[in-house]
Structure 1
Amino acid sequence: MPLAKTGSNPSTPPSILSLAYDLPNICSLVGLLSALLALYFAMTGNYQAAMIGLIWAVFFDWNDGKIARKMKGRTAQQSQVGAQVDSLIDIVSFGICPAVILLSYGDYSPWLIPGAFLIVAAGVLRLSYFNVFGLGGKSTYQGLAYDNNAIILVFVFLLESFITISAFTVVLYITLIALSALNVAPVITPKLNGGVWYYVLALYTLAITLIYGWLLLSNP
């Protein structure tokens, strides 16, 4: 549906490229770039670098809304478009990216396709639901927030160095199926991307970057 100003006469919508000048959207797009790098490194088998890209995708996802709330004079149209941009990027970062990581790590076995499908499908359903119904309360969601998929995945991937490839493929598969179920589960979970949790994520992002960066340097 084209955006229009409030009133009886619809206005000409802004150009598509004008959306790129909105600071929260710029932050969202940097997060998309991080997810794209994670996808690239996953497909080339560099999973440590993929984990770094994935956790930074979460960090930028948390920051776009923070920036938007602090900006003054942002129009309703900008807010509406920003919400759509954020939602679409979430599918890439927290659905398609984990799905590709699973497929790539499992050498693209067709047995992994159901798990890859579930993590993406859960996101499509979850984000569509959220776009219509919003938060379950002032600070709660129904189901596990989609960005938690990446937060949990980069932690689980630390096990990869300690077990066999076949065993970790099973761990990865079970993890993504469990996350898919939690994403759409009729349970109430807290909204964490604010307050002290923001600083927890910032420290977590730095720690994950340093750990996987060290692993990259140790295993060139």
Structure 2
Amino acid sequence: MLRYLIDPANAITAMGVLFSAVAIHLALSGHLPLAVGVALWAMLADQLDGIVAGRLPNRAPEKAKMGKSLDGFADIIYGTIFPAIFIIEANSASLTSAIISAALLLAGVIRLSYFNNFGLSDDGRFLGIPLSYDVPLLGVLLLMQAHLAENFVLTLNIAFLALAALHVAPIRIPSPNKIMYGIIVLFSAGVSAALIIQSS
């Protein structure tokens, strides 16, 4: 099984899973800004693995098949499990956080199951908001935390309850182009650096 990780794209996906594991540990340890800073790198790995996979000449079909499955599990971890843990920690494991995290996990699983079976629409768009929006939203909310003050947790809860619905909503989102990928990289690296500095 491990030989499939020799493939560059699959190795990047696996690295993203490791970033997610570190982020989950940090969140459960109470280091929420730092956890999101690391989780952003898991999200970046998810963006990068597809680009690398598309540029690999003569990629073996079995490695591509393994990569597709691996990518889906990686998406679930950084895109739903990590944000759910963050929400539970931020809410001190309240009943509200249990409901929101359950909705987020269910929406994430449904969305990825749909995507794995049907892929992009005929016009190259995603159906529903991709899970890759979750961690960047956490980053933005954390950077705004000082301004939100006592409304931070309420804003977090409302935002992610809405996002859970949007993950499975019948709306079409364009897939990223080269410019958008560049913006994603710069945004994520910048927000990650800001959160890591904030945590020090």
TM-score by length of 1: 0.87
Aligned to 1:177, which of 144, 150, 161?
161
For 2:80, give the aligned amino acid.
Answer: G
- Specify every segment of 5 or more residues in structure 1 that has no aligned partner in the other structure, as ranges: 1-15
For 2:183, give the aligned amino acid.
Answer: V
User: Could you give the per-residue CA deviations for residues 32-67 of structure 1, whole angstroms, max 9, x where no partner exists?
Assistant: 111111111111111111111121111110000111
Provide the residue aligned with 2:186 in structure 1.
203
State the shift of 1:22 in Å. 1.5
What is the percentage of aligned positions where both structures have the same residue? Answer: 26
**Equivalences for residues 23-62 of structure 1 within 5 A:** 23-62=8-47
Mapped partners of 2:193, 2:97: distance in 1? 30
**Equivalences for residues 7-18 of structure 1 within 5 A:** 16-18=1-3
User: For the Cα contact (< 8 Å) 1:37–1:53, is it kept in 2?
Assistant: yes
Mapped partners of 1:144, 1:137: distance in 2? 17
Aligned to 2:48, which of 41, 51, 63?
63
Provide the residue aligned with 1:144 in structure 2.
129
User: Could you give the per-residue CA deviations for residues 180-200 of structure 1, whole angstroms, max 9, x where no partner exists?
Assistant: 1110000111112x3111111
Aligned to 1:186, which of 160, 170, 181?
170
User: For the Cα contact (< 8 Å) 1:25–1:85, is it kept in 2?
Assistant: yes
Cα-Cα RMSD: 1.3
Higher relative contact order (CA 8 A, sep 6+): 2
CA radius of gyration, larger in: 1
State the shift of 1:206 in Å. 2.0
Residue 212 of structure 1 pairs with residue 195 of structure 2: yes
For 1:33, give the aligned amino acid.
Answer: L
- Specify every segment of 5 or more residues in structure 2 that has no aligned partner in the other structure, as ranges: none
Mapped partners of 1:126, 1:94: distance in 2? 11
State the shift of 1:80 in Å. 1.3
User: Could you give the per-residue CA deviations for residues 54-110 of structure 1, whole angstroms, max 9, x where no partner exists?
Assistant: 211111100001111111111221111101100011001000000000001111112
Mapped partners of 1:64, 1:78: distance in 2? 13
State the shift of 1:138 in Å. 4.3
Mapped partners of 1:153, 1:90: distance in 2? 16
State the shift of 1:156 in Å. 1.8
**Equivalences for residues 89-100 of structure 1 within 5 A:** 89-100=74-85
User: For the Cα contact (< 8 Å) 1:54–1:154, is it kept in 2?
Assistant: no
User: Could you give the per-residue CA deviations for residues 110-164 of structure 1, whole angstroms, max 9, x where no partner exists?
Assistant: 2310100111111100000001111013431111011111222211222223334
Mapped partners of 1:34, 1:137: distance in 2? 33
User: For the Cα contact (< 8 Å) 2:139–2:195, is it kept in 1?
Assistant: no
Residue 155 of structure 1 pairs with residue 140 of structure 2: yes
